[in-house]
Amino acid sequence: MEFLDKKLDDYITAHSEVENEVLAELNRQTHLKVLIPRMIAGHYQGRVLSMLSHMIKPKTVLEIGTYTGYSAICFAEGLAENGTIHTIDLNEELESFQSEYFKKSGCADKIVQHVGSALDVIPKLEGNFDLVYIDADKENYCNYYDQTINRINKGGYIIADNVLWSGKVIEPLNPKDEETQMLLEYNKKIQEDNRVQNVLLPIRDGLMIARKL
């Protein structure tokens, strides 16, 4: 589902910072070689994530759902000096693909890759986070939030992608559609959590941004 007229969307992209050559190549190769390429953050959303990272200047980032590594590279652009990104993905077949582009981008030393279930990996990570990005299996969004909210530093952020789910969140709910149901629950959970300030941005498939008070 397209939320904006394509001409307007193209205009917005044309008047946003250009993605660098490595990200452009990663975007192309993802579409050529990887299943479900629409999962990539891509040019416009990537620039939004980079801008947010530059504004927050996080020391520690946790990314749940690496895919081909595009968003991790975007977050790395705004990291504080000596900052670290922990990125988790269940698909071990993509690990070498991710590593290749982390090296090409010059940020491999800032990114720690983890392969496995995020619900298992997160408890093993030490310390707190300044920024958490959730972009993995929708059924576990609430679980990821519960696992991380108490480990977010005061003033830190949890950003969740795909919270509009192609507009399904405002359509009659199919009782068999667990993904939409869980996204509805996630959005409600954030809206009612007095520990955070939140805003839902209609960027691509929806970004829910929550700042810990």
pLDDT above 90: residue 3: no
DSSP state of 170: G
> Three-class SS of residue 158?
strand
The CA distance from 157 to 211, in Å, is 4
Give residue 175's pLDDT: 86
CATH of the domain at 138: 3.40.50.150
pLDDT above 70: residue 2: no
| Beta carbons within 10 angstroms of residue 131's beta carbon | 26
The CA distance from 200 to 83, in Å, is 27
Does a structural domain hold residue 159? yes
What are the beta bridge partners of residue 152?
129
Does a structural domain hold residue 1? no
Give residue 4's pLDDT: 79
Q: Are 108 and 79 in contact (CB under 8 A)?
A: no
Give residue 178's pLDDT: 95
Q: Residues 184, 13, 61, CA angle at the centre, nearest 5°?
A: 55
Does a structural domain hold residue 69? yes
Share of the chain above pLDDT 90, in %: 92
Give residue 1's pLDDT: 58
Does a structural domain hold residue 133? yes
> Three-class SS of residue 58?
coil
**What values do phi and psi take at 125, rounded to 5?**
-80, 140
Buried b (16+ CB within 10 A) or exposed e, 50-89: bebbeebebbbbbbbbbbbbbbbbbbbbbbeeebbbbbbb
Tell me what the pLDDT averaged over the chain comes to: 96
The CA distance from 145 to 151, in Å, is 10
The CA distance from 102 to 84, in Å, is 13
Q: Which residues constitute the domain of residue 50?
A: 6-212
Share of the chain above pLDDT 70, in %: 99
Confidence grade of residue 182 (pLDDT, cut at 50, 70, 90):
very high
Domain count, the chain: 1
**What are 100-134's pLDDT values in tens digits?**
999 999 999 999 999 999 999 999 999 999 999 99
Q: Residues 46, 180, 116, CA angle at the centre, nearest 5°?
A: 60
What are the beta bridge partners of residue 197?
211
| Beta carbons within 10 angstroms of residue 163's beta carbon | 23
The CA distance from 73 to 52, in Å, is 13
Nearest to 73 by CA among 30, 36, 116, 35: 30
